[in-house]
Structure 1
Amino acid sequence: MANEKIIKSNNAIYDVNERPPLGTWFGLSLQHMFSMFGSTVLVPLLVGLSPSVALISSGVGTLLHILITRGKIPAYMGSSFAFVIPMASLMKSFGYPAVAQGIFSVGLVYIVVALIVAKVGTNWIDKIFPPEVVGPVAVVIGLSLAGSAALNATRVGGVETGKYDIRIFIVALLTLLFTIGYNMFLKGFLGMIPVLLGIITGYIFAILFGLVDLTPVAKASWFALPKFNSIFESRRLYVSGIISMAPLAFVTISEHLGHLMVLNKITDRNFFKDPGLSKTLTGDGTASIAASLIGGPSVTSYGENIGVMQLSRVYSVWVIGGAAVFAIVFSFVGKLSALISSIPGAVIGGVGFMLYGVIASTGLQIIVDNKIDFSKKRNIMIAAPVLVTGIGNFQLDLGHGLVFTGVALSTLLGIVLNLVLPKKAASEE
């Protein structure tokens, strides 16, 4: 990466292939790790896996993705929520080997699709993903997470059944306001880490409001060996694990395409062409296969980290790689992991209001920059259902844990409408 010619994005502080000075690098990587931590450790907690192993999986998966894409894409791999239901069911019925085989099969699906893409090329991408589709889909990727942020910012446990607590609301609002303030008024190095500063400030307020339990931090040991599991713990083939999880790869592949579109926009690049979609898919698939071998959940690219890049204008792969190394190291340091785990949902929700909105704003920018005319019925007929089905999380549940999310369905709907609708409505001819 260091020897490659640097192509500077118009607004980048540190571009994709630029390496910041050591101290700056440290802080920027830490910001990315804090941003992904909550979601990455929540998935294993919901499923019954080790959060520490999930951290290692995310770190190793990210480094593998960087290696396979030749250091050209700043994408962080975190635990995927798309597989929570089938993983939890398989853990309860069969144990981890069934989950591991399912995750392994997901990785294989990615690689098979990557091989097909390498064979047929990527010219089809421009046809099925014009700006009138990309813009609304990018908005959906951001705003589909808005409900989660709102629950974290208002209710105990971040769930609808949780009790409303005004303290959570206040801490979330203060976290958001301070994050906005840091982003607008700080310069230099501090201006590049507004999310990290917002999380730290929100955490302090959360302590003052009595929302933080530091007991687990005090009890945690400094060194803690993660509880690894292995796909080879059983010689049995769990067909149910493969069948219930492999098809869901197409859900996360559609989300993968959406994330690449957003990254293309904010970095002024075309990652579909260089390093190529086949490389990015192979990177994602290999990351999940690696996770299955050590006991982690399936991984995928994270919207939270894309939001951080947009806010900080730091797109460096070196920074993403540093966050991956931190994730691996912190997984062995019990007190640090416990400290980060103690960050309450109020803080995560407050920062989420900013990060998720930034992704949605990128979609609006795509629409504006490409001068998409919404006085034309065709553009409205594409954007309207994409936005509502995606943000409303219009799900297709086929049973046995096979659930296609609103993001996946809205992306597919946008593609189909773009291909079948005429250029003009009959009333406009």
Structure 2
Amino acid sequence: MTKQVHDVVLDVDDRPKFFQWLGLSLQHMFSMFGSTVLVPLLVGLNPGIALFSSGVGTLLHIWITKKKIPAYMGSSFAFIVPMVSLMKTTGYPGVAAGVIAVGVVYLIVAAVVALIGTDWIERLLPPIVVGPIIMVIGLSLSSSAAQSATVLNGHYDLRVFAVAMITLGVTIFFNMYLSGFMGLIPILLGIVVGYLFALWFGLVDLKPVTEAAWLAWPDFDIPFIDYQPHMYWNAIIVMAPIALVTITEHLGHLMVLDELTGRDFIKNPGLHRTLAGDGAASIFAGLVGGPSVTSYGENIGVMAITKVHSVYVLIGAALFAIAFSFVGKLSALIQSIPGAVTGGVSFLLFGVIAASGLRILVENKVDFNLKRNLMIASAVLVIGIGNAYLQVGTGSQVVQFSGVAIATVLGIVLNLVLPQEAASERQLHS
């Protein structure tokens, strides 16, 4: 059932005119571009492949949801911590196993939702669990951002810090003072300005860019072809639980889209289809060498401002992303962005993630006078941010659970087992 939404320029099923379609699709591509390529840069993956997998993942999502949901699938920040750790210990095969496992979790939850509905998700992941976990995801990345923004070749470098702070400052400025199309791409503009200052300070090596071909096939990492087949249980166990957190983000995005378009996407095409779309996109990303993907709030913001909800515009953005991934010089240019620039932008991006968790607690009026809520949030925050990891096994059989994964599971368990009131609170109220 569709509600009446006023001032819509293009509705979900409307097809834009050709040149209008080009402009609107490019706008969406540039809105997601900065964040989508930043994740592989931070992890150590190929940004060209991330662009490719985000485009194909978006097309898969749109196909699975019967062209009823205007959503773009970009690189997920939620999995940066475990992916960085896995790149150091197992290389890409471990990351691929984790990314594919995330997609499988989505498919399993989609199957469960199709069978029994959605009420159990709200019970498993209420705001008191989701808010602190999202805060942990953002704050646990802060040391990585600080390292990138201060250190060059293992030593403190004032030039790196200066470029990082300039990048942070201009990105904040663009967020606050630009409007229209330019106001939709402040992260990309911040990276561009930061990159120019990095060139000035001598922090950029342009040789790989000049040597790269204009057209180049992305260097795909195919885990089951390029590497010896192996089950990376460590990667699977570390990354799979975090999918439960991004599923809540997925639900939030659907609710916003419902409000924008006047529809109920959880019922039509159904939450099971939207989850399956996300899962299929992540599995594809894992198979070709990209990071895990998720629906992007940046593109929802574009739709909210422009009143253009056409799914065909998102299809166009996906096709542009795929095309850009085959431009060799563009991939080389992106890879030449120094840590000073990515670190400066990361200060803002990771902080925004953490603030989003705080916003969930505030908007849902979580009462921290209740000991139950205080216990859950305290344990999740300190274990997750401090990365109190669990390591089991020895030698090549070591399995390590990251602090984020431990915090996620602990938050869910505490929420299920703790009473609504502590004994002292019940006594006080009696």
Q: 1:68 aligns with which of 49, 64, 67?
A: 64
Structure 2 residue 406 is matched with structure 1 residue 409: yes
Q: Deviations over 1:150-206 (max 9, x none)?
A: 22211226xxxx211111111111111111111112222222222222111111111
Q: Could you tell me which residue of structure 2 aligns to residue 369 of structure 1?
A: 363
Match of 1:140 among 131, 136, 161: 136
For residue 340 of structure 1, what is the aligned residue in structure 2? 334
Superposition RMSD in Å: 4.0
The CA distance in 2 between the partners of 1:327 and 1:286, in whole Å, is 18
Q: 1:301 aligns with which of 294, 298, 315?
A: 294
Offset from partner CA, 1:378-407 (integer Å, 9 cap, x none): 221111111222222232333546433333
CA distance change for structure 1 residues 109 and 318 in 2, over 3 Å: closer, same or farther? Answer: same
TM-score, reference length from structure 2: 0.78
* Aligned-pair CA distance for 1:210: 1.3
- Note closer, same or farther for the CA distance 1:263–1:412 as it changes in structure 2 (3 Å cut): farther
Decide whether aligned partners of structure 1 residues 108 and 28 sit closer, same or farther in structure 2, where only a CA change above 3 A counts.
closer
1:388 aligned partner, one-letter code: V
Q: Distance in 1 between matches of 2:398 and 2:368?
A: 38
Asked whether the 8 Å contact 2:40–2:291 carries over to 1, the reply is no
Structure-1 residue corresponding to 2:185: 193
1:253 to 237, 243, 247: 243
Structure-to-structure mapping, 1:112-191, within 5 angstroms = 112-156=108-152, 162-191=154-183
2:323 corresponds to which letter in structure 1? V
- Range that drifts further, 123-132 or 241-250: 241-250
* SS class of match (1:72): coil
Query: Partner residue of 2:284?
Result: 290
CA contact (8 A) 1:86 1:402 kept: no
The alpha-carbon distance between structure 1 residues 169 and 319, as it changes in their structure 2 partners (threshold 3 A), is farther
- Equivalent residues of 1:68, 1:279 under 8 A apart: yes
Alignment match, 1:394: 388
Q: Matched residue of 1:397: which SS?
A: strand
| 2:293 partner SS | strand
AA partner of residue 414 (structure 1) = G
Q: Is the 8 A contact 1:110 1:249 kept in 2?
A: no
Amino acid at match of 1:142: G
Once the two structures are TM-superposed, the CA of residue 427 in structure 1 deviates from its matched residue by: 1.6
For 1:421, the equivalent position in structure 2 comes to 418
Range with greater deviation from structure 2 (354-363 or 108-117): 108-117
Secondary structure of 1:241's counterpart equals coil
What is the CA-CA distance between 1:314 and the residue it aligns to? 5.9
Structure 1 residues 261-270 or 137-146, which shifts more?
261-270
Q: Distance in 1 between matches of 2:415 and 2:302?
A: 31
The change in CA–CA distance for 1:86 and 1:200 in structure 2 (over 3 A counts) is closer
Structure 2, unmatched stretches of 5+, are none
**Alpha-carbon distance in structure 2 between the residues aligned to 1:425 and 1:17:** 52
How far apart, CA to CA, are the structure 2 residues paired with 1:123 and 1:13?
A: 35
Q: State how many pairs are aligned.
A: 408
Q: Which moved more, 1:59-68 or 1:267-276?
A: 267-276
Q: Which moved more, 1:181-190 or 1:221-230?
A: 221-230
Within 5 Å, which residues of 2 pair with 1:215-294? 215-228=207-220, 233=225, 238=229, 240-241=230-231, 243=233, 245-248=235-238, 250-260=240-250, 263=253, 276-291=270-285
Tell me which amino acid in the other structure corresponds to 1:172.
A
Structure-2 separation of matches of 1:280 and 1:144: 29
Tell me the amino acid that sits aligned with residue 412 of structure 1: V
Asked if the contact 1:310–1:358 (Cα under 8 Å) also holds between the matched residues in 2, the reply is: no
Alignment correspondent of 1:203: 195
Aligned to 1:381: 375
CA distance in 1, matches of 2:201, 2:371: 51
Question: Structure 1 pair 71/404, CA: closer, same or farther in 2 (3 Å)?
Answer: farther
User: What per-residue deviation string (whole Å, max 9, x for no partner) do you get for residues 359-394 of structure 1?
Assistant: 222222222222222122122111111122222223
Give the counterpart letter for 1:139 in structure 2: M
Shift of 1:6: 7.9
Distance (Å, rounded) in 2 between the aligned partners of 1:131 and 1:13: 34
Q: Classify the secondary structure of the residue corresponding to 2:133.
A: helix
Q: Measure, in 1, the Cα distance between the counterparts of 2:248 and 2:386.
A: 17
- Which one-letter code corresponds to 2:31 in the other structure? Q
Alpha carbons 1:109, 1:249 under 8 Å: kept? no
Q: Are residue 353 (structure 1) and residue 347 (structure 2) matched?
A: yes
Gaps of 5+ in 1: none
Change (3 A) 1:249 1:423: same
